[in-house]
Every structure is written in C-alpha cells, then in structure tokens.
Amino acid sequence: MQTATTIAETRRIVRDARVAGKIVGCVPTMGALHAGHVSLIEAARRECDFVVVTIFVNPTQFAPHEDLEKYPRPFKNDLEKCEAAGADLVFHPSVDEMYPVERQVNLHVGDLASRWEGTSRPDHFDGVATVVLKLFNITLPDKAFFGAKDFQQQAIIRCLCRDLDVPVEIVTCPTVREESGLAMSSRNVYLSDTERETALAISRALTNARDRFQNPQSTVAEVRQQLRQDLEAVDGLELDYATVVEPVELTESDDEQPEMVALVAARVGKTRLIDNMLLHSSEQGS
C-alpha cells in the first residue's frame, strides 16, 4: 500500500493505475476509521482494481462551535485498517495542501441541504460538496463509496455528480452496526457507558418504524408521529429531528411509496448522533 500527502503525487499514482487499465475506486473519509469505513474499503476492493482511501479532516464542513480540534485522528491505526482492508493508496493531505490560498469559488447546495442536517448545520453540506468534488478531481475515480448512515450526504453527492456532470458512479453501502444495534460512528467514542445505553433507543425506534411501515393499517403520518414520540419519551436523549421522507429529495410526504427512509438526529450527552433506516412497504417485504 502506498501513501501520498500531495495532490501531484496522488494524481501521478492514480494516472499510472488508469494507464494500466485499472478501474479506480475512491473511499473519502475523515479518518478515525471503524468497521463501517472498513466495509466501504472492502466493497471498493471487490468492485475495483485500484482503491484510493482519502483521509482528510475537512475544516470547511465544521461550524465554529463544532468539534474540529477534538475530532479523533488516530492516523497510524487508520493506515493499518486501510492496508488490511485492501487499499492500494491512502491520500492524506494537509489543510494547506487542500486549501493553499483564500478560496474564490465554493459550491453551494440548494434546497436538499437546507433541511434536516442542514437546519442544524447550515453550511455543512456546502463544505462537504466542495471537498468531495476536489477529492474526485484529484483521485479521478470511476466509483466512489459512501455509507448509508450519512443518508443525506450521499443523496447530495449523487446530486452533485448529476448536476455537474461528474463521471463518478456513487455506490451507497449499508450501515454497519454494533452488535447492540448502535450505528457505527467515529463519535461513538465520546459516549459513556450510560450514554451508549441511551443511544440504543435510536436504532430501536427506527426498527419499530420499519415494522409499522410494513403494517398495511399504518399510514406514513402515523409512522412518522410514532417515531418522534418514541424518541421524545427517552430520558437523556435530546431529539433534533425524527421523520419519514421519500429517499431522493428527502421531503416529507404522507403518500406511501414502495421505499421511504426514516431519519433521526439526536444528542446524547454532548454527542450528536444521526441514524436512518430504509422502510419498505409490505408488498416489497424487508
């Protein structure tokens, strides 16, 4: 496995792979890798001939009050995970390498970024879209792999590729969960044992929403309302949002569709957690 810290070196290595006729896959990350990230690298390994993992804690997607400085950066451990999962190249640039001068051009995402996560983090997805496009331009992948846990993010990246004619296939991989049901997240390390138990209410509520959605007697509005009520009743959990939306534009609709998605964001202690679950009608099954 190779590592690179500069854009020029990364482009040279990837160019050599493409000249050799290899299909290039990219797994963008901010490091602090866990089993969910590893599953993305392994998926890229199965589908591609050359796998690039990017590790960059992107400052433009953090608000001033968020945990940029405290964000975990176990780089040596991350490299070991990348190599074990089959990565060919790890691109690990500095902030100065990615943003060397004051930027005159930034991406702005429309309505899709203004709801749900965008309400709590107004400029977050502009920062995400900008850095992802930069990473695509540097690594020139055929495919890029994202986790379903950040459902709104992968929806926005899909729109980015569609609207700006970026020739990258976006592959969304299933959420990886701990044995308890808690969705894997780099922020889980901040949870105390008690807070971790409280956080399990999120996955339980999502599972209940999935089951209710498959009940022909339940309406979408009822499933949405009960999801909120389930989480509002949990001591120690401060609900940000809990909803059921259609899976492309992420808008609330009371018209049942064959597939919808339940989205949740909540704070447990000082840690903000997000999770989601795809909902399938009883005709489709689970």
Task: Find out whether 183 and 173 touch, Cβ atoms under 8 Å.
Answer: no
Q: What span, in angstroms and rounded, lies between the C-alpha atoms of 34 and 183? A: 11
Predicted confidence (pLDDT) at residue 131 exceeds the cutoff of 90 = yes
Residue 180 lies in a domain: no
Residue 192 shares a structural domain with residue 157:
no
Residue 236 shares a structural domain with residue 204:
yes
Predicted confidence (pLDDT) at residue 282 exceeds the cutoff of 80 = no
Tens digits of residue pLDDT in 46-62: 999 999 999 999 888 88
Name the residue type at position 67.
D
Residue 56 shares a structural domain with residue 103:
yes
CB-based burial, 95-113: b 16+ in 10 Å, e otherwise: eebbbeeeeeeebebeebb
CATH of the domain at 266: 3.30.1300.10
How confident is the model at residue 65, as a pLDDT? 67
Q: What span, in angstroms and rounded, lies between the C-alpha atoms of 243 and 265? A: 10
For the chain, what is the domain count? 2
Residue 138 shares a structural domain with residue 26:
yes
Percent of the chain with pLDDT over 90: 80
Q: What span, in angstroms and rounded, lies between the C-alpha atoms of 2 and 240? A: 41
Burial of 219 (0-12, 13-18, 19+ CB in 10 A): middle
Given 37, 65, 92, 280, the catalytic residue: 37
Residue 139 lies in a domain: yes
Tens digits of residue pLDDT in 74-111: 899 999 999 999 999 999 999 999 999 888 888 999 99
Task: Find out whether 43 and 18 touch, Cβ atoms under 8 Å.
Answer: no
Tens digits of residue pLDDT in 163-204: 999 999 999 999 999 999 999 988 888 899 999 999 999 999
Residue 196 shares a structural domain with residue 130:
no
Task: Indicate the residue among 126, 144, 173 that finishes a domain.
Answer: 173
How confident is the model at residue 281, as a pLDDT? 80
How confident is the model at residue 122, as a pLDDT? 82
How confident is the model at residue 153, as a pLDDT? 95
Residue 272 shares a structural domain with residue 192:
yes
Tens digits of residue pLDDT in 220-272: 999 999 999 999 999 999 999 999 999 999 999 888 788 999 999 999 999 99
Residue 286 lies in a domain: no
Q: What span, in angstroms and rounded, lies between the C-alpha atoms of 75 and 92? A: 9
- The pLDDT confidence band at residue 120, using thresholds 50, 70 and 90, is confident
Active site residue 37: yes
Residue 105 shares a structural domain with residue 216:
no
Tens digits of residue pLDDT in 12-23: 999 999 999 999
pTM of the model: 0.91
Q: What span, in angstroms and rounded, lies between the C-alpha atoms of 283 and 197? A: 34
- The pLDDT confidence band at residue 283, using thresholds 50, 70 and 90, is low
Q: What span, in angstroms and rounded, lies between the C-alpha atoms of 164 and 161? A: 6
- The pLDDT confidence band at residue 286, using thresholds 50, 70 and 90, is very low
Task: Indicate the residue among 151, 173, 195 that finishes a domain.
Answer: 173
CATH of the domain at 142: 3.40.50.620
Residue 269 shares a structural domain with residue 224:
yes
CB-based burial, 243-272: b 16+ in 10 Å, e otherwise: bbbbeeebeeeeebeeebbbbbbbebbebb
Residue 167 shares a structural domain with residue 190:
no
How confident is the model at residue 61, as a pLDDT? 85
Name the residue type at position 161.
C
Predicted confidence (pLDDT) at residue 67 exceeds the cutoff of 80 = no
Residue 133 shares a structural domain with residue 238:
no
Name the residue type at position 22.
K
Residue numbers of the domain that contains 261: 186-280
How confident is the model at residue 83, as a pLDDT? 97
Residue 136 shares a structural domain with residue 55:
yes
Task: Indicate the residue among 148, 173, 198 that finishes a domain.
Answer: 173
How confident is the model at residue 124, as a pLDDT? 87
Tens digits of residue pLDDT in 141-153: 999 999 999 999 9
Residue 20 shares a structural domain with residue 119:
yes
